[in-house]
Amino acid sequence: MSAETAILVAVALPLAGVLPILLFRRMPNLREAATLITGLLLLLVVISLLPVILDGGRPEIELLQILPGLALAFQVEPLGLLFALVASSLWIVTSLYSIGYMRAHAEKDQTRFYICFAIAIAASIGVAFARNLLTLFTFYELLTLSTYPLVTHHRTPKAMKAGRVYLGILLSTSVIFLLLAIISTWVLTGTLEFRPGGILDGHASEGVLMVLLALFVFGTGKAAVMPFHRWLPAAMVAPTPVSALLHAVAVVKAGVFTVMKILVYIFGIDLLTQTRASVWLMYVAGATVLLASLVALTKDNLKARLAYSTISQLSYIVLGAALATPWSVMGGSMHIAMHAFGKITLFFCAGAIYITAHKTEISDMRGIGRTMPITLFAFFIGSLSVIGLPPMGGSWSKWYLALGAADAQQFVFIAVLMISSLLNVAYLMPVVARGFFLPADSKGATSKFKEAPLLCLLPLCFTAAACVALFFFADELYRLILPITGIEGVG
């Protein structure tokens, strides 16, 4: 199979998987086998593109010519392949976890869940492989629409209200801001193509660039940059596998990937450095990092705390893009993968605690580590990666972000990263300490070992192990991302 064919297959496979999922809707084992087989095939197809990209290839294919110079088209480059690898690998893991969770919790409408999940993955691959802003916008909107039924899965008044917030913020920001930014880019440059070094140099003044950057960043509501972040904690009413999809596999990663790709391939890091058009964004991202962490400290509900943690961690990636140095782009891009595995581990653990011990509030989790030691140890590993301590993968992305801040002579953001890591400790480690070192509440206390169902337990163990593996195999990510930094010789 040629690389061009592999691109089409990667986008189409999850959509093709919808048919057997629907046909086997009354046979859960076959329905879920179809999901897993489709996920495995997708991962193999995406991996098949890796040697081509590492060798410098940039395969592309055009689907539909809309206007001269404007087409629905795909191209695979390092940043997009990184996102596709994260989404396709975690789809398999999340699907396994979903089987255990949905069955243990006797969730209704499971077929609809797996169908919408598959469409969301197809949209994510479309975003990852988009050759231009038009293609990216098309699949970005498909991702919003396909995940709405997942957010409102329970159909309760609370879920429907959360869905309205979710859809309202994401659609309004993309239509009002992002679409306007795309049209403005077309008017200014006559193209929407992603190009190394960007396309805006010489086409706009510094003031126009700052306004355009604001439209792009705030129009990408999935990046959850404050003040357009409320949809993310609101969506926590959804089942835990949906939370994993939102926070690690597809939705928020599509947001920060979009911001990084636009700053690298539409603006260009050299232009941003020369004009200082992104300095304001550094401060907005830094403020989001710290403020969201402070809000996380106040949340007793575990999923709510993790949601605000995600808002904070996403702005690490936005900060890396805004700093616009080779090292910051490296750190921000690596953080897409590092945060994905760390945060999905934490959400898997939260879901495992809920379906096993029926606890959602941190204050009720005294002694939970004595009955669920594997789950809470995995939570500990995921926490260390999110905090950024070795030997966890998250330590590398934070290290490169700090180097990027120093390279840009924006030393205040080194302090932001350090303070943020301390805040990470403050809102994550009490969960572990309470679970392992405090006695269980006398009411309902038990010393009996009881972990979540195996299909929930195995995925969280895998992702926790991946947090460690990413520390030792970070060189592979480094090699993949290096070309987009513009400094081929650095090593």
The tens digit of pLDDT for each residue in 195-230 reads 999 999 989 899 999 999 999 999 999 999 999 999
Query: pLDDT confidence of 490, banded at 50, 70, 90?
Result: very low
Query: pLDDT confidence of 443, banded at 50, 70, 90?
Result: low
Asked whether residue 95 is assigned to any structural domain, the reply reads: no
The dihedrals phi and psi of 190, each to the nearest 5 degrees, come to 80, 10
Rounded to whole angstroms, how far apart are CA atoms 297 and 121? 32
Rounded to whole angstroms, how far apart are CA atoms 118 and 39? 9
Rounded to an integer, the average pLDDT of 263-291 is 95
Asked whether residue 62 is assigned to any structural domain, the reply reads: no
Asked whether residue 285 is assigned to any structural domain, the reply reads: yes
Question: In terms of Cα–Cα distance, which of 311, 320, 319, 318 is closest to 291?
Answer: 311
Cα 457 to Cα 225, 302, 445, distances in angstroms: 32, 18, 22
Rounded to an integer, the average pLDDT of 292-299 is 96
Rounded to an integer, the average pLDDT of 163-190 is 95
Rounded to whole angstroms, how far apart are CA atoms 32 and 22? 11
Q: Tally Cβ neighbours within 10 Å of residue 24.
A: 18
Asked if the model's pLDDT at residue 439 lies above 50, the reply is yes
Rounded to an integer, the average pLDDT of 130-149 is 95
Asked whether residue 378 is assigned to any structural domain, the reply reads: yes
Asked if the model's pLDDT at residue 444 lies above 60, the reply is no
Range of the domain at 478: 278-491
Average confidence score pLDDT of the chain: 92
Cα 85 to Cα 18, 32, 39, 316, 464, distances in angstroms: 21, 21, 11, 20, 17
Residue scoring higher pLDDT (398 or 447) = 398
Least confident of 45-59, 166-180, 447-461: 447-461
What confidence score (pLDDT) does residue 491 get? Answer: 41
Asked whether residue 237 is assigned to any structural domain, the reply reads: no
Rounded to an integer, the average pLDDT of 159-185 is 94
Q: Which helix (H) or strand (E) holds 74?
A: strand 70-75
Q: Are 335 and 285 in contact (CB under 8 A)?
A: no
Rounded to whole angstroms, how far apart are CA atoms 4 and 260? 24
β-sheet bridge partners, residue 60: 75
Asked whether residue 450 is assigned to any structural domain, the reply reads: yes
Q: Which helix (H) or strand (E) holds 435?
A: helix 412-437
Under DSSP, is residue 183 helix (H, G, I), strand (E, B) or coil? Answer: helix
What confidence score (pLDDT) does residue 305 get? Answer: 94
Query: pLDDT confidence of 102, banded at 50, 70, 90?
Result: confident
Q: Are 296 and 455 in contact (CB under 8 A)?
A: no
What confidence score (pLDDT) does residue 82 get? Answer: 97
Query: pLDDT confidence of 401, banded at 50, 70, 90?
Result: very high
What confidence score (pLDDT) does residue 349 get? Answer: 95
What confidence score (pLDDT) does residue 238 get? Answer: 79
What confidence score (pLDDT) does residue 68 get? Answer: 84
How many separate domains does the chain show? 1
Asked if the model's pLDDT at residue 445 lies above 60, the reply is no
Q: Are 344 and 249 in contact (CB under 8 A)?
A: yes
Question: What does the CA dihedral 344, 346, 350, 351 come to, rounded to 10 degrees?
Answer: 20
What confidence score (pLDDT) does residue 245 get? Answer: 75
The dihedrals phi and psi of 274, each to the nearest 5 degrees, come to -70, -40
Rounded to whole angstroms, how far apart are CA atoms 38 and 25? 16
Q: Write down the pTM of the prediction.
A: 0.94
Query: pLDDT confidence of 442, banded at 50, 70, 90?
Result: low
Q: What is the pLDDT of residues 408-433, one digit of tens each?
A: 999 999 999 999 999 999 999 999 99
Question: In terms of Cα–Cα distance, which of 91, 153, 81 is closest to 118?
Answer: 91
Asked whether residue 38 is assigned to any structural domain, the reply reads: no
Query: pLDDT confidence of 10, banded at 50, 70, 90?
Result: very high
Instruction: Determine what percent of the chain is predicted with pLDDT higher than 90.
Output: 80
Asked whether residue 88 is assigned to any structural domain, the reply reads: no
Tokens of 357: 């011990």
Query: pLDDT confidence of 116, banded at 50, 70, 90?
Result: very high
- What's CA 261's distance to the chain center, in Å? 14
What confidence score (pLDDT) does residue 487 get? Answer: 63
What confidence score (pLDDT) does residue 452 get? Answer: 87
Asked if the model's pLDDT at residue 251 lies above 90, the reply is no
What confidence score (pLDDT) does residue 271 get? Answer: 95
Who contacts 488 (Cβ-Cβ below 8 Å, separation ≥6)?
Answer: 482
Under DSSP, is residue 72 helix (H, G, I), strand (E, B) or coil? Answer: strand
Q: What is the pLDDT of residues 317-357, one digit of tens each?
A: 999 999 999 999 999 999 999 999 999 999 999 999 998 98
198 torsion bin: left (phi>0), alpha (psi -120 to 50), beta (else): left
What confidence score (pLDDT) does residue 55 get? Answer: 94
